[in-house]
A and B are shown apart, each in its own frame.
Chain A
Amino acid sequence: MMANLEFPWLGEQGAHDARSVGGKAANLSLLAADFRVPPGFCIPPTAFEALDLDVSAPNPGTGDASYWDTGAGERFAALIGAAYSDLAGKTGTPEPGVAVRSSGIDEDGQSASLAGLHDTFLNVVGVHPIADAALKCLASAFTDRAVAYRRDRGIDERAAGLAVLVQHLVPADVSAVAFSADPVTGDRSQVVINANWGLGESVASGTVTPDTFTVSKASKASKALSGTAVSDKAVMTVPVPGGVKEVNVPKMMRSMPCLNEGKATEIGQLAVALEQHMGYPVDVECAFMGDVLYLLQCRPVTTLG
């Protein structure tokens, strides 16, 4: 084995380079150096090659537990096991749930994204299920749809390396999307926050009308809420063993604001800090677990003129 079998962690130098861990992981890694991003490790394409895992064969581990006892499967599971054990230490949780996602080498945070083409696995728990999800993720790069997508865009098939990101899935109390400039009015003096109970899927997918909070960017106070529109939030996304699901919000929580003024302000300040850090208006995904705010994603606001 000549290739490097290290799985670089978000925030480390080794995970900053989009050419080795893909655009998505590299973006998060750079953010993780300065902000609180949930811990995660990257499996670069070179690792799959070095282990001799047949990346074009669909789901080598699926349905056959003995796969993990022999050859490439065993070596891969051992590497995942070591990293998962480190993740348990970093999260303070013995068996943390993780999100397993692809991070394409040909993906670029600033241009057309391959997001949605590759499978994502949420709240995966345990070494073999994670190893299996990583291989399925990888295999999804070779679905007819993914191949056709790359061919249509003239992306070199051989260069279509795919890294896999394994990141702690924070079991969020509340998830939010914050815009450091109002994406509708273009107003750059306010941060606009959409938030709902649970994981961020219900906010991102639009299955629920989230609560809306606006925070004044000029204020440095710990409470700088300038507007609240509480909505009747019917559903939320929650992690359940083996995945996530959408459930009803209990009646008493539906029209209760999901953020208090202090927490909304904290999200507003995070968006302002990220805007300054990036140098452009940002669209931020974040989540509270208890009193701790995690940064999940940061992109430029694309709708501003």
Chain B
Amino acid sequence: MDDTQTAGGPPPPLPIPDNFPVTWENPADEMAFWHIDPVHFPTTVTPAMEIFGDAFTKGVDRSLGAYEMPIRLQHRRINTYFYMGNTLAVPPDQLEAQGAKAEARLKEAVGAFPDRWDNEWLPEVKEHIAFWDGFDLAGASPEALAAHYDETRERLARLWDIHFLLEVPAILSMSLFDEVYKDLLGDEDKLASFKLLQGFGNKTVEGGHVLWGLSKQALKSDAVKSAIQDHPNGEVVAALEASEDGRGFLVEFKKYLAEFGQRTDVFCELGAPSWEEDPSTPISNLKDFITQPDRDVEAELAHNAAERDEAIADARAQLAGYPQAARDQFEFLLSRAQFGTRMHEDHNYWIDQMTSDKVRRMVLGIGNRLLAAGSVEDANDVFYLTPDEIREAAVSNGTGDRRTTVTERKAEMEHFGAIQPPPMGTPPPDGEPTDPMGMAMVKFFGARPQESGQSGVVSGNAGFPGKVTGTARIIRTLADADRLGQGDILVTTTTMPAWTPLFGTASAVVTDAGGVLSHCAIVAREYGIPAVVGTGNGTTAIKDGQTIEVDGSAGEVRVLA
């Protein structure tokens, strides 16, 4: 028997498929494991996203370095997809020692992160935002614009440093609380600990609620109601302009967009318009909300908060006779996990969405110069240029002809958009991680999907308990969200914060990617709808229009008809 296959040492690199050619600039890159993060970047991304990717890689390097973590995460745009590569920061024989150092650092970080966010990081984030808001994009000289571009990239890297300085302890605190809850109070109910974290609200949920409030306001005026209901999304704003009530409503709607409209339908995609630029998605949400006049989402949140307080009181009663050190540990991690839950969503507002929007505006400012100089046909074509090309466009004030380049890049994205991006490089060893941060990451991204073994049953991670039967709607992009009717079950690849208002329409949610700490599971808990996350294949195994039963406690979906 040939046993060379099972001998020690790293496994061989994965074969490169013919339809997905890649050449590694640095041979060492092949030793990293390159994969698509299906939670954040399931689709192709524009070349301009390398601006984001570079800042992301630098930010990860600095923040994980500050926490002395033994791993790093790099980014490469490979064949138009946003790939992440896991690498080690230390030689393999030092992994364990480095892991112990990181554990000590992270323990401190779990204690310190709420205070650091409030007093150190959030003020700094606001300072960066003010920097961008204060720059005159249209009036700057080419030299000043290029310098602004360079400084923007530096600041963006710092913001992603803050992003992970915050997110690492935020996710870890939720995971550690889940562990201590299960240690002390039992693990019969896998989701019990999360009940103690629900109902606090966050920027994501808050934005959804403001939109609900607007739908109530719309219902009070027939003119407003009809302008929203009886026109296609793209004509609603014009229809509102036509009446006094409508104009009054628009003032409020624009306030909403100014505060919450920095998000895009596609996560962090610099090439995608924000809701403030194109409000089709929130208008579509409004259309749906006005069909639910009796719904009171504030009361639902209050109900969640009351359920949470009851669960906390129950847990404290159970723990009353436990050793003081155990009760202290429980209370400490509860407070950190509650803050972490809120920040896990709010950081999206302050960092992911807000800064992507500011960078998009800057790049679009360069795009406007390209358009004025006749170099492109649409200012948005600037996103099909690479970071260096964009800088060069700023320096040359948009002169030159970039139309061929743009056409080729669009064709490239379309070509690869039809191909499933494969994992590449050298896969990590099998087995679930046992270190605290590794366990936390599994809860965020989801465990490897398991086949249910039963026909007609799709299994994933339990996200929020409850059983619901309804019509499956496979929604892959927000542009398709109109098809989701009230009471339907949202079946999708992943949901980012922009998808939040749909949680007010759907009776349950099923995703291909994500774990119990994913954005989707957290928002499902805030809305109190059953969720099964990280099925791996829900959007392909379930057919649009099928009647399905979602069991959020078991993490299972049954196809009934």
Contact = CB atoms under 8 A, between A and B. Distances in A.
Interface in B145-203: 176, 179-180, 182-186
A197 B326 contact: yes
B184 A248 contact: yes
Interface in A228-254: 236, 238-241, 247-253
A211 to B, nearest CB: 13
Nearest to B179: A251
Interface stretch (A80-88, A166-174, A261-269, A293-301): A166-174
Interface in B323-357: 323-326, 329-330
Interface string A152-191: 0000000000000000000111100000000000000000
B317 interface: yes
Contacts of A252: 107, 180, 329
A241 B329 CA distance: 21
Contact of B322 (A97, A198, A258, A290): A198
Contacts of A97: 321
A127 B366 CA distance: 80
Interface string A94-110: 00010000000000000
Contacts of A250: 179-180, 183-184, 326, 329-330
Given A240-B318, A241-B318, A174 B323 contact: yes
B320 interface: yes
Nearest to B320: A171
A240 to B, nearest CB: 6
B325 A253 contact: yes
Contacts of A123: 321
A256 B107 CA distance: 14
B324 A290 contact: yes
Given A247-B186, A248-B183, A253 B318 contact: no
A266 to B, nearest CB: 17
A251 to B, nearest CB: 6
Given A241-B317, A250-B329, A253-B329, A173 B183 contact: no
B323 A172 contact: yes
Interface SS of A by simple majority:
mixed
Given A197-B323, A253-B329, A247 B318 contact: no
Contacts of B320: 171
Nearest to A97: B321
Contacts of B107: 252
A13 to B, nearest CB: 32
A239 B321 CA distance: 5
Given A247-B183, A247-B186, A251-B183, A238 B323 contact: yes
Given A247-B183, A247-B184, A250-B183, A173 B325 contact: yes
B323 A198 contact: yes
B483 to A, nearest CB: 46
Contacts of A258: 325
Interface of B is mostly: helix
Contacts of A253: 325-326, 329
A198 B324 CA distance: 9
B223 to A, nearest CB: 60
Contacts of B329: 250, 252-253
Contacts of B324: 173, 290
A46 to B, nearest CB: 33
Contacts of A171: 320-322
A250 B184 CA distance: 7
B186 A173 contact: no
A250 B320 CA distance: 16
B183 A249 contact: yes
Contacts of A239: 321-322
Give the interface centre of A172, A252, A253, A290 by most chain B CB atoms within 10 Å.
A252
A240 B318 CA distance: 6
Most chain A CB within a 10 A radius of its CB, from B107, B320, B323: B323
Nearest to A244: B321
B321 A236 contact: no
A250 B329 CA distance: 8
B178 to A, nearest CB: 12
A107 B193 CA distance: 47
Interface in B275-330: 317-318, 320-326, 329-330
A241 B321 CA distance: 9
A245 B223 CA distance: 65
A123 to B, nearest CB: 7
A248 B320 CA distance: 16
A123 B324 CA distance: 17
A174 B322 CA distance: 10
A236 B318 contact: no
Contacts of B325: 173, 197, 253, 256, 258
Contacts of A247: 183-186
A288 B126 CA distance: 50
B333 to A, nearest CB: 8
Nearest to B184: A247
Nearest to A197: B323
Most chain A CB atoms below 10 A, which of B185, B329, B330: B329
Interface centre among B107, B182, B326 (most CB of A within 10 A): B326
Contacts of A241: 317-318
A202 to B, nearest CB: 11
Contacts of B322: 171, 198, 238-239
Given A250-B326, A253-B326, A240 B183 contact: no
Interface core residue of A248, A250, A258 (most chain B CB under 10 Å): A250
A198 B183 CA distance: 14
B454 to A, nearest CB: 32
A87 B254 CA distance: 67
Nearest to B180: A250
Interface in A94-145: 97, 123
Contacts of B184: 247-248, 250
Contacts of B176: 251
Contacts of B185: 247
Given A248-B184, A250-B183, A240 B323 contact: no
A132 B359 CA distance: 73
Nearest to A252: B329
Given A247-B184, A250-B180, A253-B329, A173 B321 contact: no
A248 B183 CA distance: 5
A236 B179 contact: no
A132 to B, nearest CB: 20
Contacts of B179: 250-251
Nearest to B324: A173
A251 B329 CA distance: 10
A256 B436 CA distance: 17
Given A247-B184, A248-B183, A250-B183, A173 B317 contact: no
B322 to A, nearest CB: 5
A61 B154 CA distance: 77
A172 B322 CA distance: 7
A229 B324 CA distance: 22
Nearest to A254: B183
B336 to A, nearest CB: 12
B183 A238 contact: no
A278 to B, nearest CB: 29
7 contacts: A172-B323, A198-B323, A198-B326, A248-B182, A251-B436, A252-B329, A253-B325
Given A197-B325, A240-B321, A249-B183, 15 more contacts: A171-B321, A172-B323, A239-B321, A241-B317, A248-B183, A249-B326, A250-B183, A250-B326, A250-B330, A251-B176, A251-B179, A251-B183, A252-B180, A253-B326, A258-B325
Return the 5 tightest CB-CB contacts between A and B, nearest first.
Answer: A239-B321, A171-B321, A248-B183, A173-B323, A250-B180
